[in-house]
Amino acid sequence: MNASAGRLWVVATPIGNLDDLSPRAAAVLRSVALVAAEDTRHSAPLLARAGSTARVLALHEHNEREQAMRIVEMIQAGSDVALISDAGTPLISDPGFRLVRAVREAGATVSPVPGPCAAIAALSVAGLPSDRFVFEGFLPAKSSARRERMSELVAETRTLIFYESSHRIAESIADAVAVFGGDRNGVLARELTKIFETVIGAPLAEIQARLAADANQERGEFVVLIAGAEADDADAQLAEGRRVFALLREELPPAKAAKLAAAITGAPRKALYHSDGSN
């Protein structure tokens, strides 16, 4: 890479009030030749607030591979480029990793401009263990697939973090109650840093009831956090799952036996499948 090459800035942007844009982020957005954004219409007010006159390029999951090559060429020619998401830290359940990888593989510099992240913001106010956690992003849209994924996580002892949309939040919480149990503690963080911010911490069944009682609680953008399983409970569940799997394995192929054992006991399907020494 030549010494006059530009760089890619990965810039975190506000998840609520545009006044939360950091001075450093604003300075970077003013300095770059191009801003790659998931939604160019959404980014316009932000860039105006920053005083940026940079050209804006749409970069989303459907065109990222193609646009990454164009951006790499610009950086190799000496231009600085900023990558932003609709809100928060880019690449966190948003496009961008292919672009970052392409720029790095081309030998150019990629620099972060840290800032808001909804998952971390929610974790910081949840009151759940934060020393170890698992970020799952968005769960599958269909209930059957969503429950299957949840079932694989039911014995996870780390705090679980999910994103969810307004039109699926009620169904997603209902699935969580069915899979994790209504007594498992959870937190529903809605519209973080915005005027209607709400953080509800309660057993999952109570969160479900709160949603049903107040339609306003189903509006906005959500982070769902679920307490991890107690270590002793998780070990007992996995042991029972392996016992059931071993019985089913005598009559069924490993994949089907693991799926049924997981459905019966709640133990993680993958852990059961890989416990079979023949796999």
Please list the pLDDT of the chain residue by residue as tens digits (279 residues): 556 789 999 999 998 878 889 999 999 999 999 999 988 888 999 999 999 999 999 999 899 999 999 999 999 999 999 999 988 999 999 999 999 999 999 999 999 999 999 999 999 999 999 999 999 999 999 999 999 899 889 888 899 999 999 999 999 999 999 989 999 999 999 999 888 999 999 999 999 999 999 888 888 899 999 999 887 777 778 888 888 888 898 888 888 988 888 888 888 888 888 766 555
The pair of structure tokens assigned to 154 is 């039911």
Q: Provide φ and ψ at 188, rounded to 5°.
A: -110, 110
Strand-pairing partners, residue 183, are none
Q: Whose CA is closest to 104, among 184, 10, 200?
A: 10
Q: Are strands 133-138 and 81-84 parallel, antiparallel or unpaired?
A: unpaired
| Record: fold of 7-116 | Cobalt-precorrin-4 Transmethylase; domain 1 (3.40.1010)
Q: Where in the chain is the domain with CATH 3.40.1010.10?
A: 7-116
Q: Provide φ and ψ at 224, rounded to 5°.
A: -110, 125
Spatial CB neighbours of 239, under 8 Å, sequence gap ≥ 6: none
Burial of residue 19, with CB atoms counted within 10 A of its CB: 0-12 exposed, 13-18 middle, 19 or more buried = exposed
pTM: 0.80
3-class DSSP assignment, residue 14: coil
Q: Where in the chain is the domain with CATH 3.30.950.10?
A: 119-229
Identify whether the C-beta of residue 9 lies closer than 8 Å to the C-beta of residue 113: yes
Helix (H) or strand (E) segment spanning residue 238: helix 231-249
Strand locations in the chain (E): 7-11, 34-37, 55-58, 81-84, 109-113, 133-138, 159-164, 185-190, 198-203, 222-226
Residue 232: per-residue pLDDT = 76
Instruction: Give the per-residue SS3 of 119-147.
Output: HHHHHHHHCCCCCCEEEEEECCCCHHHHH
Residue 3: per-residue pLDDT = 61
DSSP state of 216: G
Q: What is the CATH number of domain 119-229?
A: 3.30.950.10
